[in-house]
Amino acid sequence: MNPQEPAGGFQQGGWYEGKQYWGGSFSDVGVIHPSSSQQGAGQAVSQETVQQTDPKNWQYIQEQKAGQPSGAGAPSGAGAGAGAGVGDIGATQAPNIDLPGLYKSLTESSGISGLEQELSTKTTQYNEAMSKINDNPFLSEANRVGRAQKLTLDFNARVANLQNDIATQKADVETQLNLQMKQYDIESQESQLALSRFNSLLSSGALDNISGEDIAGLTRSTGLSSSMIQSAIQSNIKKNNPVSIESYDDGTNQGYVAIDSQGNIVNKSVVSPSKPSGSGGGLTATQERSIKASATKALQTVDASEEGNVDKLISLEEYKRAVEMLVADTGLDFNEADNYLTSQMQELKYGKWKW
């Protein structure tokens, strides 16, 4: 006798009239034996798996369930040397598809884990920075709100691409899982319709400003990878949206700007500061730079005057001293010096303290 076969000739893990043999007993009809070492022990085998061997097997199992009680004895008609009967649902064991393991493998290979870790790190850093702002007793309410808003805007800008990458990569993983499980049929009417809709939207320009979440949706519905969809969109944008170069002078700077056919600025290059007005009283670019440099020096000097404590917070008394220093250094009147210092404080992100 084969040592792997118990008395009666039943193969360990074999299926007989819709029941699995294991450890000297049979399972219920269409159910993996509870003592089995196979994945899904104690659970019913899916209709899809049963029908992979013969579509008639599913109907047979339903009839067996309706007409026979559950039991641990050998099925009727199964004796020594008996092979798989009409109810044999396929191989001697259910297909071993490790979906959790497959998902983990695809997720790691796609880089999702790394992206999610990076997003988590940035979120933690953001929360810590926000706590420091809210807990700082030396900040005025206006200053605190301003800093918190800027921190939030910067954080959202930094993580937007990360969130889109995670969404598209997850959609790619889901598509690969569907292909592995044979749940996605590229020849199906649904997928062809989704692909046709994608091409229509692409050619009309409706996808030009598509979000990462929408790309993820297209990946799931069409079966195309997210990178393929993004490449198609970028290629279509370039084909239908030529760019022209124009010069500009906005009163502060002058240079060149690239504008697409929709009037959107694609790129902008600053060449030099704007020319002074032709009234005769305007300052040259060199003079403007010199005054701004003096204003910066005055702010830095008063900020560090108190035992070298540079915190970029200027008190009203420090501001007055800075105005006096700028007047003495440049010959400007008080109002002009005040305007330049206010502008430099904003540009250099100096805050007011106890004004």
Residue 342 lies in a domain: yes
Indicate the length of the chain as a whole number. Answer: 355
Specify the pLDDT at position 52: 60
Q: CA-to-CA distance for 170 and 172, rounded, in angstroms?
A: 5
Rounded distance between C-alpha atoms, residue 45 and residue 15, angstroms: 12
Instruction: For residue 72, give its domain range.
Output: 1-95
The model's pLDDT over 4-24, given as tens digits with 9 standing for 90+, comes to 444 445 677 777 777 888 877
**Predicted local confidence at residue 290, as pLDDT:** 85
Predicted pLDDT of residue 123: 92
Mark the ranges of the chain whose per-residue pLDDT is less than 70: 1-10, 48, 50-57, 67-103, 177-191, 251, 271-282, 305-309
* 215 and 134 both lie in a single domain: yes
Number of domains the chain is built from: 4
**Residue 278 falls within a domain, yes or no?**
no
Tell me: do 233 and 251 sit in the same domain: no
Asked if residue 65 and residue 163 are part of one domain, the reply reads: no
Indicate whether 206 and 140 sit together in one domain: yes
Decide if 306 is inside a domain: yes
Residues 208 and 314 in one domain: no
Q: Residue 33: its pLDDT value, please?
A: 85
Check: CB of residue 158 under 8 Å from CB of residue 122.
Answer: yes
Residue 329 domain flag: yes
Query: Do 111 and 165 sit in the same domain of this protein?
Result: yes
The per-residue pLDDT for 12 is 77
Domain endpoint, select from 63, 95, 127: 95
pLDDT at 231: 84
Tokens 């032709």 label which residue? 278
Both 120 and 236 in a single domain? yes
Task: Give the pLDDT confidence score for residue 77 in this predicted structure.
Answer: 38
Select from 228, 226, 222 the least CA-distant residue to 191.
Answer: 222
Q: Is the Cα torsion angle 230, 235, 237, 242 positive or negative in sign?
A: positive
Burial 122-133 (b: 16+ CB within 10 A, else e): eeeebeeeeeeb
What residue has token string 């084909």? 239
Are residues 106 and 229 both part of a single domain?
yes
What whole-number distance in Å separates Cα of residue 69 and Cα of residue 71? 6
pLDDT of residue 18: 77
**In terms of Cα–Cα distance, which of 207, 184, 123 is closest to 159?**
123
Beta strands in 44-172 (DSSP E): none
Q: Do residues 14 and 32 lie in contact, with contact meaning Cβ atoms separated by under 8 Å? A: no
| Token pair in block for residue 351 | 């805050």
Looking at the structure, tell me whether residues 20 and 87 fall in a common domain. Answer: yes
Is residue 314 a part of any domain in this protein? yes
Q: Do 86 and 104 lie in a common domain?
A: no
The answer to whether position 280 is within a domain reads no
- pTM of the shown model: 0.29
149 & 33 share domain: no
How confident is the model at residue 130, as a pLDDT?
Answer: 92
